[in-house]
Amino acid sequence: MAFMVKDGFRLYYEDTGGSAPAVLFLHGAGGNHLSWWQQVPVFAEEYRCITVDQRGFGQSPDVIGGPGPNALATENIEDGDVVEIEIPGIGVLRNPVVKER
pLDDT interval class at 94 (50, 70, 90): low
pLDDT over 90, % of the chain:
10
Q: Tell me, what amino acid is at 57?
A: F
pLDDT of residue 18: 80
Phi, psi of 33, rounded to the nearest 5 degrees: -60, -25
Average pLDDT, the chain: 74
pLDDT tens sequence across 58-79 = 898 888 887 776 666 543 445 4
73 C-beta neighbours (distance < 10 Å), count: 16
Query: Does residue 6 register a pLDDT over 80?
Result: no
Residue 5 or residue 78, greater confidence = 5
11: Cα separation from own chain's centroid: 8
Asked if residues 64 and 29 have their Cβ atoms less than 8 Å apart, the reply is no
Q: Please tell me the pTM assigned to this model.
A: 0.67
Q: How many helices (H) and strands (E) does the chain have?
A: 1, 6
The domain segmentation of the chain, as residue ranges, is 2-96
In angstroms and rounded to an integer, the radius of gyration of the C-alpha atoms of the chain is 13
Query: Could you tell me which CATH number the domain at 2-96 has?
Result: 3.40.50.1820
